[in-house]
Amino acid sequence: MINVTVNRSSSGAIQSFSMSGHAEFDDTGKDLVCAGASCVAFGSINAVHALTGIDPVIETDQKNGYLSFQWPESASGEAFEKGQLLLEGMLVSMRTIEEQYGEYIRIAILEK
């Protein structure tokens, strides 16, 4: 199962997210759930960087199916707000996948 964890600040801003595990919906290379979730996550990270100019802190481990995103301490202002919109869009897309394939992907929202 893929586990997506989104960490929000007390103001509701997405501070970080992580994705771990394997969907095991189908064989490697044919797993639509894994491919969909990966595309949404990596596409969102790429969009944050390209459209805000902010370099997020990223960690990956392909073998174990791990990805994490965290805003750098310096992220603020209009660029940070644009990034928030992109990450909220990512969350909508992940929830859409979860609605259809809930036995293969779970999303948890943690608030500080």
User: How does pLDDT run along the chain (112 residues), one tens digit per residue?
Assistant: 999 999 999 999 999 999 999 998 988 888 999 999 999 999 999 999 999 999 999 999 988 889 999 999 889 999 999 999 999 999 999 999 999 999 999 999 999 8
The two three-digit tokens of residue 102, written as one number = 């809930």
Looking up residue 13, the CATH number of its domain turns out to be 3.30.70.1490
**Can you give the residue range of the structural domain that contains 71?**
2-111
On whether the pTM is more than 0.85, the answer is yes
Q: Verify whether residue 34 is a known catalytic residue.
A: yes
Task: Tell how far CA 76 is from the center of its chain.
Answer: 19
Catalytic residue among 16, 20, 21, 22: 22
Catalytic residue among 2, 4, 19, 34: 34
Amino acid at 49: H
Q: Verify whether residue 39 is a known catalytic residue.
A: no
Dist. CA 12–CA 48, nearest whole Å: 18
How many domains are there within the chain?
A: 1
